[in-house]
Amino acid sequence: MCERHATEAHAIAAPLCSRRRRLWQLDHSCHCPLIGVGLPLPVLRKLVDKLSGGKTVADDYEIHVAAVSECASRNRLSEALQKELERRYATVLLRYRSLTSTEQLFASWRAAIAMGDVAGAFWAALTHPRCTPALEQQLCRDLHMVQHQAGACVRADLGKFNALVGAHAQLTLDLGKAQQRVVALQAEKSTLTAQHEHRMMQMQASLIGKDSLIASLQAQLEQLRLNAPGIDSRIRLTARLEQMEQQQRALRQQIADLHLSAARAADAGVPQAAEAAPAPAAMAATDAPAALCLQQRAVLCVGGRSGNVATYRTLIEGEGARFSHHDGGLEDNASRLDASLAAADLVICQTGCISHSAYWRVKDHCKRHGKRCVFIDNPSISSLARGLQLHDEDCKR
């Protein structure tokens, strides 16, 4: 049907006038859809109020009917409507000005319908010089159907719109609650941040105070070192003196224990003095120091307990030997060990109380120089005596 009308529109000759038609020059059947579609009701009411000199009390329908009736002739209202339509759709009019045939005008109108923007295209096509009466009727028919379809779409979308309004209200409520939670969390976070910053400032102040105290103490220490040269060696000597005092107390305690043991043994052996007399002789025969061949020999004891060194010395020097001691690198300087080994005739190595480095140095030195070395596992006095006795037996062989 539309193709038939298009064919009729193409067959009819173009209007004699080459200028665009004005609103009052159009057919009266075009005024109603043109005013209804081309001008929104607020704009139409504003124009009517301006020309009537006051606020119009009529409803929208009455204003629409009055405007349509005034468009039949040239008057103040029709001229104002013409001016408003020209201003509102100036861009569309400029695009339609380049059309030179009815076919192009009809194709542009159909393209506007497909795009859904028919208000400006309807005004531009109706007033175009190449718009024939047949095309004018076709335009009105097409716009009528577009309005029906638009109304149906509006009714179909009204339910969706109402549902969206309800959903929007619920989402707005949820958003408000979420915003309240966010505000509460932000306040809590701000409080925690302030507390952390306060603690950090306190810690920084404490660190600055400690650094200042350390710097002050270091300055005092340097001043003390300048005022008292050799204070480091004094500190080491003081520690060494304390250690020697501890060793001396241990020796005194050991001597007291020996005296007590001797007194108890003497008290127990008084009734059998005659019978017990051979016992020392027997002991002398087995453990007597005179049997040891240590006279005029240099004996080096490496390692051992520091509390037993005095007893070691008494035992060895009692045999006529020269005694020297090295702790095996625990406290004495390890570089002195080589000199002590070189000066010794006999080396006693306390393997249970010596460093690994000193042990291997003693063993290597004695092996290279062919010196006798007695290895003792237990740092006790009796173990030392047994070790010396074994050395004496080897010498006799």
Please report, for residues 114, 118, 143, 154, the alpha-carbon distance to residue 147 in angstroms, rounded to integers and kept in the order given. Answer: 14, 10, 6, 10
DSSP assignments along 11-50, one per residue: HSPPPS--SPPPGGGS-HHHHHHHHHHHS-HHHHHHHHHH
Which pLDDT belongs to residue 386? Answer: 81
Residues ≥6 apart with Cβ < 8 Å to 187: none
Specify which of 52-56, 275-279, 288-292, 351-355 reaches the highest per-range mean pLDDT: 351-355
* Residue 250 clears pLDDT 70, i.e. is over it: yes
Q: Which region among 14-28, 159-173, 372-386 has the lowest average model confidence (pLDDT)? A: 14-28
Provide the β-strand partners of residue 350: 376
pLDDT(196) > 90: yes
Distance CA 239, CA 245 (A): 10
What top-level class would CATH report for the domain 290-396? alpha beta
Query: Rounded mean pLDDT of 21-33?
Result: 89
The answer to whether the beta carbons of residues 328 and 353 sit under 8 Å apart is yes
Q: Which residue has the higher pLDDT, 57 or 244?
A: 244
Q: Which of 36-45, 124-133, 182-191 has the highest mean pLDDT?
A: 182-191
Cα–Cα distance, 325 to 303 (Å, whole number):
8
Dist. CA 108–CA 111, nearest whole Å: 5
Q: Which residues pair with 326 in a beta bridge?
A: 302
Exposure b/e, 301-315, CB count within 10 A at least 16 = b: bbbbbbbbbbbbeeb
% of the chain at pLDDT higher than 90: 13
pLDDT digits (tens, 9 = 90+) for 299-316: 988 887 777 888 888 888
CA distance to 118, 362, 383, per residue, from 396 (Å): 136, 24, 20
Given a cut of 80, whether residue 264 has pLDDT beyond it is: yes
The model's confidence at residue 200, banded by pLDDT at 50, 70 and 90, is: very high
The string of pLDDT tens digits covering residues 91-100 is 888 988 888 8
Enclosing H/E stretch for 300: strand 298-302
Q: Which residue has the higher pLDDT, 49 or 196?
A: 196
Residue 32 has pLDDT above 80, yes or no: yes
What type of residue sits at position 137? Answer: Q
Distance between CA atoms of residues 325 and 366, nearest Å: 16
Sheet holding 322-326, edge to edge: 322-326, 298-302, 346-350, 372-376
User: Region 89-110: what's the mean pLDDT?
Assistant: 89
Domain with CATH 3.40.50.2300 in the chain: 290-396
Residue 332 is predicted with a pLDDT of 58
pLDDT (average), residues 49-64: 78
Q: Give CA 235 to chain center in angstroms.
A: 48
- Of the listed ranges 5-9, 105-109, 120-124, 199-203, the one predicted with least confidence: 5-9
pLDDT at 277: 36
Enter the tokens of residue 279.
């016992």
Query: Phi, psi at residue 372, to the nearest 5°?
Result: -75, 130
The whole-number pLDDT of residue 396 equals: 63
The rounded distance, in Å, linking the Cα atoms of 213 and 251 is 44
Is the model's pLDDT at 171 over the cut of 90? yes
Lowest mean pLDDT among 129-138, 162-171, 222-231, 367-376: 222-231
Closest CA to 19 of 130, 100, 133, 174: 130
- Is pLDDT of 185 > 80? yes
- Mean pLDDT across 268-278: 46
Q: What is the mean pLDDT of residues 350-363?
A: 82
d(CA 124, CA 90) in angstroms, rounded, equals 9
Q: Which of 302, 353, 338 is nearest to 323 (CA)?
A: 302
- State which of 202-206, 242-246, 268-272, 302-306 shows the largest mean pLDDT: 202-206
Mean pLDDT of the chain: 80
Strand pairing report for 298-302 and 322-326: parallel
Question: So what's the pLDDT on residue 369?
Answer: 87
With beta carbons less than 8 A apart as the criterion, state whether 297 and 322 touch: yes
**CB–CB of 345/320 below 8 Å?**
no
CA 297 to chain centre: 73
pLDDT(182) > 50: yes
> Is the overall model pTM greater than 0.85, yes or no?
no
Average pLDDT over residues 344-359: 84
First to last CA, the chain: 145
What percentage of the chain exceeds 70 in pLDDT? 81
